Every structure is written in structure tokens, then in C-alpha cells.
Chains A and B, each alone.
Chain A
Amino acid sequence: MAGAELEPVIGLEIHVQLRTATKMFCGCALGFGEPPNTRTCPVCLGLPGALPVANAEAIHYGLMIGMALESELAPISTFHRKNYFYPDLPKGYQISQFDLPLCSGGKLGEVNIHRVHIEEDAAKLNHAGASGRIEGADSSIVDFNRGGTPLAEIVTEPELGSAEQAGEWLRLLRTTLRTLGVSDVNMEEGSLRCDANISLRPVGTDQLGTKTELKNMNSFRFIERGIRAEVDRQRAIIEAGETVTQETLHFDPKSESITSLRSKEEAHDYRYFPEPDLPPVMITGEMLARASAALPELPAARELRYIEALSLSPESARLFAWRAELADYFDAVCAADKSLDRQLAANWVTELQGRLGEEEAEDSKVTAAALAQLAAMVASSQINQGGAKQVLDQLVAAGGDPAAIVADQGLEAVGGADELAPIVAAALEANPELTERLRGGDMKPIGVIIGEVMKQTRGRADGKEVTALVREQLGLS
């Protein structure tokens, strides 16, 4: 294999906490940040004799996700028990789905979906240090507040070709889920969690190499960096003529290092069997109609609308549609000034996002109204590109009103024959040699003249206007 060029094959497994009022199988209210063990009941504590009853709203959300991902929806969906012991799993099994998931197949963007199923979340295990009960024993504390939160597990086909593509697609998925309103999709709070299956194969083949599983990455940045690090690690192993071992890995974003999650790889045998406490769920026409009626405009439709109705460039349309927050911000900018050219508004939103990095535009100091005002000032030539960028820098840093910043700092465009003609004339006069060359038709020195004018106007002149004035004053056509 050594020598052949290798390409990554990446599949994603995403756990999404659903934003229902109550847990998956009991009536405990969902919460985030409540004092430990204050959101529990016999069911989610796994007390003897307690029984699960499935939350209709979680099934409804699952159907909405399936519809958004163009999945095939099961007419009958069953729950299974996935048996294993862990302190965060109160019953000794997780109620999940196995052979009849709610949604099978589907597609989002260019990536095929394998399946979507519904299950319950585990509780939270916090490390506590020495137990104090037995010498040398290390201990943990379990908080069952999160235990039993409804999850949708979305599994893609292994089709993603790079860390960047995985990150970009995950943003689209997040936007889709956010738009559906089925989840908070907050990676920091753990309502969206992502595992990646990664393997390498020689370019152009369809054989699959040994895959590793990178667990629980909790930000877009870490996902991309983690996948990149794991791809590099596997590439180094293969190029050294060794073989990759199948294992579960953890990426530490601080040290950029990858470690094996289980010291001794235990053979997993989950002993799945149909959950006898839960009858099969019949998906009725009524349930489907309700889910379908609840579907909002999804990213693909939004992208198309931006191109067709707003005449945005395909690049801007996709950028916004795949990042709902940005699209919402763009919509707000357009709403603030209905006469604004949409593409111009789009360009300034893009310009702003470029300065923000991971931060969302709506969370920045730049209000949609301020950005609309800035774009309008550019459109009416009250300010030129360079000046506008200076204003934007200041808005990002400290917020404020663009008109006031312009007035304060004298950033108005210097334009019109009255104001600019004498400055151009002076610049020509100060450079007789270059003026002669220009008069002779050699336009190369025009940059120097423009530079001189910009210097005099502190960047507030428009380059095109200066060029036109030079031609006019020198009698060039």
C-alpha cells in the first residue's frame, strides 16, 4: 500500500438532544444546569418496578428530522435494549432502536444518510478524586438529571472526504436541525455531539481500510482538527508499512494528541433484544401529516429562494443557507433597509463574518441596522470601499452608528468634479514627467497619481473617479 496516494473516508455519527418538555421515557422536565439529581423519578433512576413510556413529541421530532433528511419513515418502529454496565446507565441497558429505526436512508447536501433513530441519553458522570471509603480508590459522582433526555442519533454513510468537508456538512446539519426547532444544537452544552469514523484508502479505490472511532468532539473547530490529526496519524502508520488497529479514540484539543479511550479493548456484546416494556410504535397518517405541517423552510429551499427571488450569487446563497444564523442576520439587514441592493448587502454580511471567525454575526457588536446603513452609504457613494472597511473594523471593535463614525473621523468620500478636480490637477502639476507619459498614452503611472490623490484625501476618493478626472483633464478620450 505504501506509495499509493491515500484519501480519508469519514462517516459521522451525531447525537442530538431533542428539545422536548420532558424526558424520553418519563415525565421529568428537561433542564440544563439544575442542581444535581433534582430532575429524577423512579423511571429515569431505574428504580425496581418502574416502566418506560415513550414521549410522543420525541417521535414527532424524529419524524420531522426524517422528513428534512429525505429519509424513509418506518410504518412501525420498535425499541430495543442495548445491554451494558456503566454507572451513568441506571437500568444496565439503554433503550435504543436496532433493526426498525424511525428513519432509514436519506440525504442532506451531498451526503447520504444511513439512518436516524431515537434513544435515551446517559446520565452525567463527574470525576471526584479519592473516594475516602477505600484507600487508593478513585471515585466518580453520578448526576441523573441528564439521564433519559431524548436523543436522535443521525448516522451518515462513510462518504465525507476531508476534515473541512465534515465540518462544513456538520454546519449544514446543525442549521437544518436549528431551523426545524427540534434541538438547541449547542455543542458546548452537549446538545449536539459528534463521533467520527475515519479510515484511509488508496485514491480511486472503493476498498475500506480499518476504521477508528473518534469520540465526542464538542466544537466545530475540534472536529476538524481532530479528524485532521487522526488522518495524519493513520497516514503515518500506513506509510511506515504498519497497520491501523480498530479502536475508540479521544482527541485532546489542548495537546492536539490522540489517545485510545479504552485501555483494554473489551469485546462488546450488547445483547440487543426487543424492549418488552414498549409496544411497537405505529406511525399513523395523522402523525405524518402533523410532522409534515410543522416543517419550516429548509436550507435547500432557502438557498434556491435566495438565488431566484433575491438574485443572490450562488456562493452567497449557499453560504447563508447552510448557516442559518448568518442567513437570519442577512435577512435582518435587508429588512432594515428594503431599498438596499441584496447582493451588496450579502457582500457586507460576508465581509463582516470574515472578521468574526467563530462568533455569530447576531452576537457581535454590529447590529443589522448598522450594517444596512453602512452598505447604503457605500451604495450612494457617501463613503468608498476603503472607508467603509475602516468603519466596519470600528463597528466590530466597539459597535456604534456608522454615520456618526464617518462624520467624527471625516471619512466621507471626496467626490464630484468640484471637490476632486483641483486635487487631481495639483497632483498632475506636481509630477510633470509622469503627466507627459500619461498624455502620450502610457497609462502605467496612473497608480502613482491615484496614490497621490488618496494621500491628499486620506483614502476618501474613489479610484475610478480619479482616473476619469485625469483623462478629462489631459484631454484623453
Chain B
Amino acid sequence: MIDRDELLHVARLARLALHEDELETTAAELSSILGHVAAIDQLDLDGVEPTAHIGDVSDSLRADQPRPSLAREVALAPAPAVRDDGFLVPSPQGE
């Protein structure tokens, strides 16, 4: 149901490394889950609207009023790598 190439494509979108020895079992597990999930095909859903949010919230907007920001040391404290008061990352490629 899900083949190696599809699995690699999805893993790429999800930025999840899948090492060679994980491919086969992962594909099998996903296929089995997707096979089960495919049961929803049997339900007649003509004319049924999708539900994205349950419950009614009418007044969900926020007034445009500033609140204090975090101190920089606090913001940076959990970062794995910091330089020049910012979060250090490997540069994206191709730019």
C-alpha cells in the first residue's frame, strides 16, 4: 500500500531520517495502519460537511495590546547553539 519511494518522500517532507534497516518494517507497519484506516471508505459521506473545529467560539480575537516579551537570556537559554545573541543553525543550502 505504501512503497519504498512513497515512504522516503513522506519521510523527506517530515524531515525524519529513515535509516536503511528501518525502511522495510516501517513500510509494513504504515501499510497495515493505512489499510485499517481505509475502512472509512465504506461510510457514505455524500453531502456531509467536514468538521475542523468542534464547538462554537465566536469572540476569539485578541485586542492589539502589547505584553512584555521574554528577556533575551531566557529566550536563548534552551537553545542547543547560540552566537551573537541569536540561534545558531547550519545555513540552508542553495542560498
Contact = CB atoms under 8 A, between A and B. Distances in A.
A122 to B, nearest CB: 12
A36 B84 contact: yes
A86 B87 CA distance: 13
Given A36-B85, A41-B70, A128-B84, A139 B64 contact: no
Contact of B72 (A20, A37, A128, A261): A37
A45 interface: yes
A21 interface: yes
A125 B58 CA distance: 37
A279 B57 contact: yes
A53 B94 contact: no
A165 B58 CA distance: 43
A29 B61 contact: no
B75 A128 contact: no
A280 interface: yes
Interface in B34-87: 52-53, 57-58, 60-67, 69-70, 72, 75-76, 81, 83-87
B48 to A, nearest CB: 16
Contacts of A278: 60
B93 interface: yes
Nearest to B55: A279
A235 to B, nearest CB: 27
A402 to B, nearest CB: 46
A143 B86 CA distance: 6
Contacts of B33: none
Given A35-B85, A37-B86, A85-B15, A276 B65 contact: no
Contacts of B95: 261
Interface residues of B, number: 33
Nearest to B13: A269
A21 B92 contact: no
A87 B69 contact: no
Contact of B61 (A20, A38, A54, A273): A54
Interface stretch (A55-63, A167-175, A187-195): A55-63
Contact of B69 (A28, A54, A279): A28
Interface in A42-69: 42, 45, 53-59
A142 B89 contact: yes
Contacts of B18: none
B7 to A, nearest CB: 15
B60 A54 contact: yes
A28 B60 CA distance: 18
Contacts of B52: 78, 273-274, 276
A35 B52 CA distance: 39
A343 to B, nearest CB: 43
Contact of A53 (B15, B62, B85): B62
A134 B90 CA distance: 9
Contact of A56 (B13, B57, B62, B75): B62
Interface string A298-337: 0000000000000000000000000000000000000000
Given A53-B61, A140-B92, A87 B87 contact: yes
Given A138-B91, A279-B57, 20 more contacts: A21-B65, A22-B64, A28-B67, A36-B86, A41-B67, A41-B70, A45-B75, A56-B64, A57-B63, A86-B92, A126-B86, A128-B84, A128-B88, A131-B88, A140-B88, A140-B90, A269-B13, A274-B52, A276-B52, A279-B58
26 contacts: A21-B64, A21-B65, A27-B66, A37-B75, A37-B76, A37-B85, A42-B70, A53-B61, A54-B62, A56-B61, A56-B63, A59-B61, A87-B87, A87-B92, A131-B88, A139-B90, A141-B83, A141-B84, A143-B85, A143-B86, A263-B93, A274-B52, A274-B53, A280-B53, A281-B60, A282-B58
